[in-house]
């Protein structure tokens, strides 16, 4: 079966990619901002970029273990 993404799915993916780019820039400016890291990790998960989400988890773990655990739980839900 040939799966083709609908317009809605493509639009969501494009929005998530843009959000990831914006968050990456903000994290580069403020690498210890736990809220930005958590949001970026969550966006990576939504995009299926699990390895990048794991990298964010490792950074976040040193800053806020509670948020890091929540991100890890989301990672293993996939």
User: Using CA atoms, how far apart are residues 7 and 29, in angstroms rounded to an integer?
Assistant: 34
The vertex-63 CA angle with 58 and 48, nearest 5°, equals 40
Q: 73 pLDDT exceeds 80?
A: yes
Reported as a single tens digit per residue, the pLDDT across 10-62 is: 899 999 999 999 999 999 999 999 999 999 999 999 999 999 999 999 999 99
CA distances from 1 to 4, 10, 13, 23, 69 (A): 9, 19, 22, 36, 37
Which of 28, 42, 13 has its CA nearest to residue 57?
42
Q: Could you give the maximum distance between any two Cα atoms of the chain, in Å?
A: 45
pTM, two decimal places: 0.85
């Amino acid at each position: 079966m040939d799966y083709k993404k609908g317009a809605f799915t493509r639009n969501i993916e494009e929005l998530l990619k843009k959000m990831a780019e914006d968050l990456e820039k903000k994290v580069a400016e403020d690498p210890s901002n736990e809220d930005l890291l958590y949001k970026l990790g969550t966006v990576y998960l939504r995009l299926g970029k699990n390895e990048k989400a794991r990298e964010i988890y490792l950074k976040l773990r040193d800053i806020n273990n509670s948020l890091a655990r929540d991100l890890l739980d989301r990672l293993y839900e996939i």
